[in-house]
Amino acid sequence: MTATTTLLVIAKEPRPGRVKTRLTPPFTPAEAAALAEAALADTLAAVAATPARRRVLVLDGVPGPWLPPGFDVVPQCAGELDERLADAFARCAGPALLIGMDTPQVTPDLLGADFHDCDAYFGPAEDGGFWALGLARPEPALLRGVPMSTPVTGAVQRERLVTAGLRVRDLPPLRDVDTAADARAVAALAPQGRFAARLAACAPAADRRRASR
């Protein structure tokens, strides 16, 4: 990543009942929100450690103590996810890379994109979506109308880039945290992170609740 690139993180405020609802059960809404907060904190820490012209949190909600210094905070627009992603890119005047809050295993090395010999970066997610999208020249129309949260979301989005004549460089696939199985797998990839620590704290209570049923 060069210092001329804007890094965007699109996220929801980690409040019980609003985030990571697929983690309940086995986790309670409060535990799911705590896991979401830890995932977001790990993600923001990786972004903060990556050279960038600007770091922006595109947030649904209000910031909390989990937000490190050095980030501009802007609200998400209304509408479906494709519209919100498009609006995030519309705010950028130059090269930009956008990621979500669902891959706490992300590292600055993974974010080290350089647009000197490509027009776009694409990071596929193992569930068929994508965890990262970078555009040398942000064009919101490339995202509008892409079906979100489906098994073909990533394929459709990447095809949009190719059809537009962009030179696409692929990033390694990452696993999103959606389910308890995802959480365990991702925590194992980044055992020293906040997410892994929070999962270790939540898991015994979740196991006891399962055993009592």
Strand partners, 12: 60
- Global pTM value: 0.94
pLDDT by residue (tens digit) across 11-69?
A: 999 999 999 999 999 999 999 999 999 999 999 999 999 999 999 999 999 999 999 99
Helix boundaries (H) for 78-193 = 81-90, 153-163, 180-189
- Take residue 145 and report the two structure tokens written for it: 């109308």
